[in-house]
Amino acid sequence: MKIAALQMVSTPDVDRNLATAARLVGEAAHAGARLVALPEYFCLMGRRDEDKLAIAEADGQGPIQDALSALARQHGLWLIGGTLPIRAATPGRVRNACCAWGPDGTRVARYDKIHLFSFDNGREAYDEARVLEAGDTPVAFEADGHRIGLSVCYDLRFPELYRALMTPPCDLLVVPAAFTYTTGQAHWELLLRARAVENQCHVLAIGQGGLHENGRRTWGHSMVVDPWGEVMAMQAEGEGVVLGELSRLRRDAVRTQLPALRHRTLAC
Residues labelled as active-site residues: 40, 113, 153
DSSP 141: E
Helix (H, G, I), strand (E, B) or coil at 146: strand
b/e per residue 191-225 (b: at least 16 CB within 10 A): bbbbbbbbbbbbbbbbbbbbebeeebbbbbbbbbb
Q: Is the dihedral of CA 8, 11, 12, 15 positive or negative?
A: negative
- At 101, give phi and psi (nearest 5°): -120, 145
Q: Are the beta carbons of 24 and 8 closer than 8 angstroms?
A: yes
